[in-house]
Structure 1
Amino acid sequence: MPHLDLIEPEQAEGAVAELFETAREVFGVVPEPLQLFANKPSVAEAVFRGFAPSMEQTNLSPTFFAWLRYLTANHTRCTHCIDVNAAILLEMGVDRRALAAARKDPGTVPLPLGEKTLLLACIEVVRDQGLLDKAQIEDLKRYGFSDADLVTAFHHGAHSHAVDLMINAFGL
């Protein structure tokens, strides 16, 4: 039970109602975190728009981003986010054994080598708040990732981390 009231879609007005309609078009539902963040419409908008770069690019797979959110949620212990992203990954054809194994060892994630390497780098940065050195960036680029791909991936991990912390803080 969240510690703050959720803004129900039926109660939403103005910009929040428009944002909820867009969310419904994208996800089929208005996610509970968005209803929570709608207590401050500009925050709800920023959270929602923060995921847009991953949907606008074409070089990284949706499965990569789902794994990144899932493993970030595992690190932040955001049970809501773990459950949501596990359901997304299951729908994408990932089996439960792979989910359990990845939570123990992210290196077991069933992704192509380039995406797996990028995923592990993103998780390392989120987990350790560390810096990548030039050699690590060059290694990632050898897999064909552009600067834009790298910025998008690391932004997605950092944004997911921040959203997870907010969800945890308000008991969702």
Structure 2
Amino acid sequence: MPALHTIEPEKATGEAANLFTATHQALGVIPNLAKVMANNPAVLKGYVHVVTALSAEGTLSAGVRERIALLVAQENRSDYCLSVHAFRGTKVAGLTTAEATRARRGEADDPWAVAVLDLAAVVVRDHGVVSDAQLATARHAGLSDGHVVEVIAHVALSLFTNYLATAARIDIDWPLVRHTDWENAMT
């Protein structure tokens, strides 16, 4: 049972209704997580704006963005977000199931994507502490300061959604992927 209430789109009025329309435009659906965010329209509005800006104006491809989200969700044991991003990664961003699985452990075939995932892993695991050597490694792989900032923004966005989904204990409305499938994902 969810710990936080969901606001159903058909019952939403005013700003919440408009935000659900924007959410549907940004994501193609209105997921349960957005229905929880609608308890505070400013939160949903901020989320929609950040997702829209990073998707439309950011420099990271959809595949790289989904890889970051999968890595962070695995690190935080967020089954909701693993389910969302496994689906979006394979159905929207064009990742194979194997690529999505490998992203959960910070792996990719593309060296640039590996550099992004290495940086994202450091940011999430070390709570934002990135050493000079780690920054030098990222720069050597071709990441600009702008890329670094964008990677950190995606980690932060993922942390927010991971934490909210976990705290809210909302029903998973995507094909289920569990963080405990990790052992099976390793083979």
Please indicate the TM-score interval, normalised by the length of the shorter structure: 0.7 to 0.9
Moved more, 53-62 or 78-87: 53-62
Q: Secondary structure at the match of 1:51?
A: helix
Structure 1 segments of 4+ aligned residues over 6 angstroms from their partners = none
Is residue 2:60 matched to residue 1:60?
yes
Partner of 1:94: 95
- Relative to the length of structure 1, the TM-score reads 0.87
Q: Secondary structure at the match of 1:49?
A: helix
Partner of 2:163: 165
CA RMSD of aligned residues (A): 1.9
Partner of 2:26: 26
Q: Distance in 2 between matches of 1:58 and 1:5?
A: 32
Is residue 2:140 matched to residue 1:139?
no
CA contact (8 A) 2:63 2:94 kept: no
1:99 aligned partner, one-letter code: A
Aligned length: 169
Q: Distance in 1 between matches of 2:121 and 2:47?
A: 20
> What runs of 5+ residues in structure 2 fail to find an aligned partner?
171-187
Q: How far does the alpha carbon of each residue in 1:101-145 deviate from its partner, in whole angstroms, 9 at most, with x for none?
A: 443x323x23x2122112221122112214112332233223333
Partner of 1:148: 146
Alignment CA distance shift 1:8-1:37 (3 Å): same
Q: How far does the alpha carbon of each residue in 1:77-99 deviate from its partner, in whole angstroms, 9 at most, with x for none?
A: 11111011101122244333333
Q: Distance in 2 between matches of 1:125 and 1:59?
A: 19
Q: Percent of pairs identical after alignment?
A: 27
Q: Distance in 1 between matches of 2:57 and 2:144?
A: 11
1:11-50 alignment to 2 at 5 Å? 11-50=11-50
2:59 aligned partner, one-letter code: N
> What runs of 5+ residues in structure 1 fail to find an aligned partner?
none
Q: Distance in 2 between matches of 1:27 and 1:6?
A: 18
- Relative to the length of structure 2, the TM-score reads 0.80
1:65 aligned partner, one-letter code: R
- Residue 121 of structure 1, aligned match among 97, 100, 119: 119
Partner of 1:74: 74
